[in-house]
Chains A and B, each alone.
Chain A
């Protein structure tokens, strides 16, 4: 895939302005596309197995339906003035130089069809307003370029009308699913959630074994029996976290961090095998129905375990769906304790304990880490933490600063609401899109390279399972160590001093001897 562009050498693109605008390379990424979903994967989600015969007619009518039920889409189809303000805002455009990856051009792929069939000017003066028939070529473009958008919403921040290309991408993917042309990666994963309960397809038995193994590891390290309970009825808190946390590095280290914090706080908590996945890929494919079905599993788990609170682990899109949509799709949650935010993010939970002086850290344990923080797009631009505007930026940083001595932010125009995507979000984290993922990460890698040079940064922390997976895969291509991406709660885990632990003895001993020396 993407043969025309295989000469891209990431190392040549490591140094430079992260937001440098490339010269246009027409059609550079036309060949980049994900594998098509197999009939079984389609049908499990309620879509036709393969491209239906009257696909054109069906696609147009689905477009009409979507516009009728989404004010955003309707307003966005009409309102773009082609000002160009968004043209240089997409990391995929910056990394690939393909003009169809400019947000407005991506929208236009759908807009020209909308105009042709749903507006007066497009029906009678198509050449004038850029209206086009829905042909096989257009459909091919949809399939390529709606799968080169991570739905990160960076463009939406800068558009004078807030036009959100992510909404357009979702609509494009929804239409393609409806005519039987789905992408394998996301649809297969959603199917796994329906049958097994999580994206990775980890069965309950494996999950149990993993958690038991982690308990042993923690006890060996700290001398404290920290529990990672599964399906424990009557616990106070249900923790829902991406399944990557049960499985791979650096995600697992993050999970250990949550467990230690929860243990230290003294609350009872549990994980659920029914909702053993926080991520909700329904959002990626723009399917409200599938998003609701995945969300309902979390509600069902909370009800059957009779918990009082909901806490989400580190995951970008998961947090967006949880924070913004859960109440709408699966609420109201009036059976939960209303004194706590519903749902709560693990960073909020930890930060709250830090602010109340309930946690102790030995920051020197993280001295080998000179850290920076990658704001995950869907946390940064589509959700919040805490009570203050911008809490999603300050809270994870406050947690990191509490656990580490060395923290340095990347350039202001590449963090907070200006943050750059890791390049693998939105359902693109699949091997056949590796070329796109590497190129899409270029702006972030350049921003990172700068703090490496200026402050000797060695590691980047993130709070999104997709970001972490993507970075550990593509950072080596840019010359960084694959372990230079870490979890925020991994840093917490390294430095936290559990009451009665070996670390506490050692730490207090050190304090005392320091005092005696004075």
Chain B
């Protein structure tokens, strides 16, 4: 019963996550960008754009220039999240790839860093009047959800251990459509339930910033409007001479 419920919700969550993001990306990609609007400092070439995007996505360059505290907490959270996600791969992959094993010890530390970063971001949201002003219920809930996922995960690592071997069997079973029983451990169930919720919320929320950043014309366009005529959208005939 429990296994069936979780198995089905994970299938549903994965489906909603993937199709939702695919739909959004398709929308972004097919919406025309009528004019060249890169923001300075804009690179002049496509390779320059790739480098710029890399610096934005990996180092949060603009955010660094904007506000060191938000940058610090935000960057810690994202890097820690990446490590945690990598570490979790060992529950889905058999055999476990070597890089996952390398990440493993950092992954545990990263769990704390992730929750720490989130709490710091939340504190800013609560105590800095400007940021409180722009925060809505969903912004707080999103932080609550992520903190809860992190805390329940950490609790399993450091408090009440769960039967990790069965968990892995459950997920491998999900992947190969050969369901295995999920351990009836309240912490684990809370953790997994929240993760499924996050997956479902993703395509409907501001978490779309993740794919969105790659489609932002101010960041992904090259500054070459004098060198190459840019035709960003279908235009009236009269204009094509």
Partners in one complex: yes
Within the assembled complex, what's the spacing in Å between the Cα atoms of A292 and B35?
11
> B44: which A residues are within 8 A, CB to CB?
389
Within the assembled complex, what's the spacing in Å between the Cα atoms of A342 and B229?
11
Flag if A89 contacts B133 (CB, 8 Å).
Answer: no
Q: Which of A50-58, A98-106, A210-218, A355-363 contacts B (4 or more CB under 8 A)?
A: A98-106
| Interface membership of A71, Cβ < 8 A | yes
Within 8 A of A (CB), among B63-97: 63, 65-67, 70-71, 74
Q: Which of A119-127, A180-188, A247-255, A467-475 contacts B (4 or more CB under 8 A)?
A: A119-127
Flag if B33 contacts A164 (CB, 8 Å).
Answer: no
- Please name the residue on chain A nearest to B31 by beta carbon: A71
| Interface membership of A430, Cβ < 8 A | no
Within the assembled complex, what's the spacing in Å between the Cα atoms of A450 and B143?
42
The residue that B133 contacts in the complex, of A24, A158, A323, A325, with Cβ under 8 A, is A24
Known: A88-B130, A160-B213. A167 touches B37 (CB 8 A): yes
Closest-CB distance, B120 to chain A (whole angstroms): 13
Known: A78-B24, A84-B131, A159-B62. A325 touches B35 (CB 8 A): yes
| Interface membership of A390, Cβ < 8 A | yes
| Interface membership of A517, Cβ < 8 A | no
Known: A84-B67, A389-B42, A389-B44. A329 touches B239 (CB 8 A): yes
Within the assembled complex, what's the spacing in Å between the Cα atoms of A105 and B133?
9
Known: A121-B204, A121-B205, A325-B225. A157 touches B39 (CB 8 A): yes
Flag if B33 contacts A325 (CB, 8 Å).
Answer: no
The residue that A382 contacts in the complex, of B39, B137, B232, with Cβ under 8 A, is B39
- Please name the residue on chain B nearest to A388 by beta carbon: B44
Within 8 A of B (CB), among A148-174: 153, 156-164, 167
Flag if B63 contacts A85 (CB, 8 Å).
Answer: yes
| Interface membership of A130, Cβ < 8 A | yes
Flag if B223 contacts A162 (CB, 8 Å).
Answer: no
Flag if A384 contacts B137 (CB, 8 Å).
Answer: no
Closest-CB distance, B108 to chain A (whole angstroms): 27
Flag if A69 contacts B34 (CB, 8 Å).
Answer: yes
| Interface membership of chain A positions 367-386, coded 1 if the CB is closer than 8 angstroms to chain B and 0 otherwise | 00000000000001110100
Within the assembled complex, what's the spacing in Å between the Cα atoms of A381 and B40?
5
Flag if A78 contacts B206 (CB, 8 Å).
Answer: yes
Flag if A74 contacts B42 (CB, 8 Å).
Answer: no
Within the assembled complex, what's the spacing in Å between the Cα atoms of A80 and B205?
10
Known: A70-B31, A70-B34, A83-B70. A390 touches B239 (CB 8 A): no
Closest-CB distance, B198 to chain A (whole angstroms): 14
Known: A71-B215, A74-B31, A83-B74. A160 touches B56 (CB 8 A): yes
Total number of A residues with any Cβ neighbor in B under 8 Å = 69
Closest-CB distance, A477 to chain B (whole angstroms): 27
Known: A70-B31, A70-B34, A121-B204. A129 touches B230 (CB 8 A): no
Flag if B137 contacts A127 (CB, 8 Å).
Answer: yes
- Please name the residue on chain B nearest to A166 by beta carbon: B37
- Please name the residue on chain B nearest to A68 by beta carbon: B31
Q: Which of B216, B229, B239 has the most CB of A within 10 A?
A: B216
Known: A69-B34, A89-B66, A128-B137. A161 touches B39 (CB 8 A): no
Q: Which of A78, A129, A384, A389 has the most CB of B within 10 A?
A: A78
> A105: which B residues are within 8 A, CB to CB?
133-134
Flag if A69 contacts B226 (CB, 8 Å).
Answer: no
| Interface membership of A288, Cβ < 8 A | yes
- Please name the residue on chain B nearest to A88 by beta carbon: B130
Closest-CB distance, A178 to chain B (whole angstroms): 17
> A156: which B residues are within 8 A, CB to CB?
39, 218
Within 8 A of B (CB), among A10-53: 21, 23-24
| Interface membership of B231, Cβ < 8 A | yes
Closest-CB distance, A63 to chain B (whole angstroms): 14
Within the assembled complex, what's the spacing in Å between the Cα atoms of A121 and B36?
31
| Interface membership of B161, Cβ < 8 A | no
Within the assembled complex, what's the spacing in Å between the Cα atoms of A157 and B67?
12
Flag if B225 contacts A130 (CB, 8 Å).
Answer: no
| Interface membership of A433, Cβ < 8 A | no
Closest-CB distance, A459 to chain B (whole angstroms): 25
| Interface membership of B159, Cβ < 8 A | no
The residue that A161 contacts in the complex, of B28, B31, B219, B232, with Cβ under 8 A, is B219
Chain B interfacial positions (CB closer than 8 Å to A):
24, 27-28, 31-37, 39-44, 56, 60, 62-63, 65-67, 70-71, 74, 124-125, 128-131, 133-139, 141, 204-206, 208-209, 212-213, 215-219, 223, 225-226, 229-233, 239, 241
